[in-house]
Amino acid sequence: MSLTILLLVVGALLLASLLVVPFSRHPLGRAALYGAVGTVCAIALATSLGALLGGGEPSAHTLPLGIPWLHARLRLDALAAFFLVVVNLGGATASLYAIGYGRHEHAPQRVLPFFPAFLAAMNLVVLADDAFTFLFAWELMSLASWALVMAHHRSEGTARAGYIYLVMAGFGTLCLLLAFGVLAGAGGGYGFAVIRTQTLVPWQQSVVLLLVLLGAGSKAGIVPLHVWLPLAHPAAPSPVSALMSGVMTKVAVYGLIRIVFDLAGPPAWWWSIVILIVGGTTAVLGVLYALMQHDLKRLLAYHTVENIGIIFIGLGLALGFQANGMPSGAALALTAALFHVLNHSLFKSLLFFGSGAVLAATGERDMERQGGLIHRMPITATTFLIGCAAISALPPLNGFVSEWLTFQAILDSPNLPQWGLKFLVPAVGAALALSAALAAACFVKAFGITFLGRPRSADAAAAREVDRFSLAAMIFLAVLCILAGVLPGFVVDALSGVVRELTGGGGLPRQSSLPWLSLIPLSPARSSYNGLILLIFLTFTSTLIALVMRRLASHAVRRAPAWDCGFPDGSPATQYTAASFAQPIRRVFGSTAFAATETVEMPEPLSLQPARLQVRVRDLAWDWLFAPIGAAVDASATRLNTLQFLTIRRYLTLVFAALVVLLSGLALWQ
């Protein structure tokens, strides 16, 4: 039943993307489309939530579509249901947000048709139960999002972002295609049910892991395959950026989990080493890159890379426990990872909505031209602040809970027998702690420079609060961030079905029936956390202090110019900027992490030229990996160009030579 509704939802979304084409320039068409998409997503959300909480048997369905002998197989199990919740929660809030935000869209005909198609494709990826449907939906997701990235194709940098995204998406799909090829084996069974029954030899499993890591990882944005992400995510319209960062990366994580935990068979212990190294590196480098950005949306996009790293750390630990037959540890680590998937989809969508609101209000993405928006956009600022606090893992919000669970999983891992893991896990723990601390610095910067201080441009000084729909979407997500942080037991319980399905163990003990709704993942003697008590405690204490201060303290408040150590300068240019805020951290980490260089141009005495400080921060993945590949492709293309101007005789010789080489290759293979 649930599956049927979800399939109808996918169908409705695809239909909507076709139907909207003639009306896409009309304001009513826009509102109607986003309203309808939001409603449909809300239905899908309710259905998948029901399926997740109901915990029934997986339901499957076969549609007579696609390749004739295969048909399109679809299946709804707990894992799929959880990711459908994430997808449709993001979809519903993004639609709500877009009802208002879409007003600022100057080319709606390039956004409207692809928006529902993108959502439908993401739903379909999660529902797919055979390799063909999965890859088809995956490619549809890539293409629809590519079209949305290219919506503002005349803006500077968008064309380049779109091109790089297209190349990386193609590469990712190719890797997944090959991975499924290996999984299906010689028999060519492309249904997931058939793949599950097959046993692969270890080298095949390793090839699958590597290909999936490249394929799904490039979509999720692991370092060093992340280069497209900070270009493409910010280039799209803000609700789409939120979907790409908050939801599409999670669909990529779903692909990884589905293949590695479900299809590829029992894991080897060294898989967790690979994933942990990738996760730890991604987490630290992602947040360091984010800290160096001064474009608000690009900062958020880079920060997505960090969060993917945190999710990968959880997944890697889960694999390590799983491979060693330690189901409780695996359940804990997997719960942490999935909890972070949900959390990140909540606060990253919220923050992208906020950045969209800033963009709509000031017309600027550059933080160096913002400032003081908290005075003119109080609600946006407050919700953005909640998002920032949540993503910086501050208690009692939700980001802290998933990081806390990940830390608990790390503390549970000394029992892992392999020496490689024993050495690696503490280092990964340090990387996680470092990235959490740097994330706080990053979001002090993001919020502080954008919303606090004095306006750095006329646009920022004239900003207005955004419309009600956008605000409603942001408030809704902010409330969810608080709820998930204060009542984490319910989320952990909702995840227990997924965890049991994937680890085969009993999962974590039931949380929501514990006294005071505390979170006790392993045993009360080991660790417990209670966001609710903490919130009550904090609220009670601050109220008490406020009352005491009200009674005892002087009430006098005088407004005066800022003191600033007696340095009277009214110019907002004397404030700290995004670049200057990040300067100490750049000094500490920058020279190694991204070859940061500073050049100072001091004018001669008596010269009237301004002094200049130029800071260059490079993405090393680009310099060391992608630029050489690009150069090699260019060079070989130039060389091979001569092949286009041969005589017919030479062409025939070439064809013959190719035939001989292929046939001899075949002969050797046999």
Residues numbered 563 to 602 that lie near other proteins (CB under 8 A) are 563-565, 567, 572, 574-576, 580-585, 587-588
Minimum Å gap between C-beta 317 and other proteins is: 13
Q: Pull the structure tokens for residue 541.
A: 């204490």
Minimum Å gap between C-beta 555 and other proteins is: 8
Q: What is the DSSP letter of 186?
A: T
Q: Are 122 and 213 in contact (CB under 8 A)?
A: no
Segment 419 to 478, residues that bind other proteins, using CB under 8 A: 419, 422-423, 425-427, 429-430, 433-434, 436-438, 440-441, 443-445, 447-449, 452-454
Segment 346 to 375, residues that bind other proteins, using CB under 8 A: 371-372, 374-375
Cis status, amide bond into 584, omega within 30 of 0: no
Of the candidate residues 32, 43, 483, 534, the single one contacting other proteins (CB under 8 A):
534
Minimum Å gap between C-beta 356 and other proteins is: 22
Q: Which amino acid is at 373?
A: L
Residue whose entry in the numeric block shows the structure tokens 């207005």: 464
Segment 377 to 416, residues that bind other proteins, using CB under 8 A: 378, 385, 389, 392-395, 400, 404, 407-408, 410-411, 413-415
Minimum Å gap between C-beta 587 and other proteins is: 6
Least Cα distance to 630 among 227, 207, 222 occurs for 227
Which residues, other chains included, contact 599 with Cβ-Cβ below 8 Å and sequence gap of 6+?
Answer: 613, 614, 616
Q: Pull the structure tokens for residue 34.
A: 């986003």
User: Which one of 152-160, 169-177, 237-245, 556-564 is the stretch in contact with other proteins (CB under 8 A)?
Assistant: 556-564
Give the Cβ contact number of residue 157 at 10 Å: 11
How many whole angstroms separate alpha carbon 87 and alpha carbon 243?
8
Minimum Å gap between C-beta 100 and other proteins is: 24
Of the candidate residues 31, 277, 483, 533, the single one contacting other proteins (CB under 8 A):
533
Which CB, 53 or 615, lies closer to other proteins?
615
Minimum Å gap between C-beta 407 and other proteins is: 6
How many whole angstroms separate alpha carbon 293 and alpha carbon 358?
16
269 binding other proteins? (CB under 8 A): no
How many whole angstroms separate alpha carbon 568 and alpha carbon 33?
53
Cis status, amide bond into 237, omega within 30 of 0: no
Least Cα distance to 275 among 228, 232, 321, 230 occurs for 321
Which CB, 199 or 574, lies closer to other proteins?
574
Q: Which amino acid is at 59?
A: S
Which CB, 566 or 610, lies closer to other proteins?
566
How many whole angstroms separate alpha carbon 197 and alpha carbon 208?
16
Of the candidate residues 538, 632, 646, 658, the single one contacting other proteins (CB under 8 A):
538
528 binding other proteins? (CB under 8 A): yes
325 binding other proteins? (CB under 8 A): no
541 binding other proteins? (CB under 8 A): yes
Which CB, 103 or 454, lies closer to other proteins?
454
Measured distance between the N- and C-terminal CA atoms of the chain, rounded to whole angstroms? 50
Segment 44 to 63, residues that bind other proteins, using CB under 8 A: none
Of the candidate residues 557, 600, 611, 666, the single one contacting other proteins (CB under 8 A):
557
Segment 488 to 517, residues that bind other proteins, using CB under 8 A: 516
Which CB, 266 or 378, lies closer to other proteins?
378
3-state secondary structure of 106: coil
**Which H/E stretch holds residue 75?**
strand 72-76
Of the candidate residues 186, 201, 458, 553, the single one contacting other proteins (CB under 8 A):
553
Minimum Å gap between C-beta 286 and other proteins is: 14
- Helices within 412-530 (DSSP H only): 419-451, 458-461, 468-486, 488-503
Which CB, 355 or 392, lies closer to other proteins?
392
Q: Pull the structure tokens for residue 528.
A: 């417990």
How many whole angstroms separate alpha carbon 176 and alpha carbon 180?
6
292 binding other proteins? (CB under 8 A): no
Give the Cβ contact number of residue 79 at 10 Å: 23
Q: Are 308 and 253 in contact (CB under 8 A)?
A: yes
Which CB, 404 or 469, lies closer to other proteins?
404
Of the candidate residues 201, 458, 552, 640, the single one contacting other proteins (CB under 8 A):
552
Segment 124 to 143, residues that bind other proteins, using CB under 8 A: none
Which CB, 116 or 590, lies closer to other proteins?
590
How many whole angstroms separate alpha carbon 149 and alpha carbon 119?
14
Which residues, other chains included, contact 273 with Cβ-Cβ below 8 Å and sequence gap of 6+?
Answer: 316, 320, 420, 421, 424
Which CB, 462 or 538, lies closer to other proteins?
538
3-state secondary structure of 529: strand
Minimum Å gap between C-beta 584 and other proteins is: 4
* Binding track over 210-249 against other proteins, x by CB under 8 A: ----------------------------------------
Number of residues in contact with other proteins under rule CB under 8 A: 89
Q: Pull the structure tokens for residue 30.
A: 């826009």
